[in-house]
Structure 1
């Protein structure tokens, strides 16, 4: 059984699945960004003695929580709230973790710390979007499972 399908078998060429994957990834990115950026911005505005890695860890955790909350709200329009919560956690958690690490690593590499500036935000968003997109496509195409 092949885990990653070959390019020449057509698996990776479905325009409909790519479109759906991009939309799913966008919603995840929106949720993650709210908590992540909010945390980093807050720590920029206050005096603290936290290390960069402590701030980034909290930003990642808050990003995961806000993403789960946003996805639960979106899904609750289609299903019961308890099922929406389970779905939000179960189907996209790997994607969210990859997204968060990519965004925060990009921030640290480009700014040297937990720093939000206007020029770094687009790079963080691009890294956060591009990193989980192939996984989201693969999961959707292979299992027919989408978060939204």
Structure 2
């Protein structure tokens, strides 16, 4: 689970950094990285924790690509990962 969370958070930070650097904002790399890390760390942690907790609860940590229950658990965990950070993402700042 720790590797999964680290991979998800790292991938998200890299993607956000590239978008902030190359997108409409055109931020320098260092500022884009700091912004990416600061703007969504709580959201990413909530998403990763919810996804992994639901997935582990439903599958017991067993990866069985041929089992339809595994894929159903994956879909349910993605839904939980989407819903978990929604209140935080839409709170007025």
- TM-score bracket relative to the smaller structure: 0.7 to 0.9
Structure 1 stretches of 5 or more lacking a match? Answer: 1-55, 143-148
Tell me which residue corresponds to 1:85. Answer: 33
Number of the residue aligned with 1:68: 13
Q: Distance in 1 between matches of 2:12 and 2:43?
A: 11
Extract structure 1 runs of 4+ deviating beyond 6 A: none
In 2 relative to 1, CA 73–122 (structure 1 residues): closer, same or farther, beyond 3 Å?
A: same
Q: How far apart are residue 58 of structure 1 and its match? A: 0.9
Classify 1:101/1:74 alpha carbon distance in 2 versus 1 (closer, same or farther; 3 Å).
same
Q: Could you list the runs of 5+ residues in structure 2 that have no partner in the other structure?
A: none
How far apart, CA to CA, are the structure 2 residues paired with 1:127 and 1:63? 15
1:5-47 per-position Cα deviation (integer Å, ceiling 9, x unaligned): xxxxxxxxxxxxxxxxxxxxxxxxxxxxxxxxxxxxxxxxxxx
Partner of 2:2: 57
- Given the superposition, is the C-alpha separation of residues 114 and 92 from structure 1 closer, same or farther in structure 2, using an over 3 Å criterion? farther
Q: TM-score, with normalisation over the residues of structure 2?
A: 0.83
1:123-143 CA-to-partner distances (Å, cap 9, x unmatched) read: 1111111000110111xx22x
Instruction: Report the TM-score, using the length of structure 1 for normalisation.
Output: 0.54
Could you say what the CA RMSD is over the residues aligned between the two structures, in angstroms? Answer: 1.3
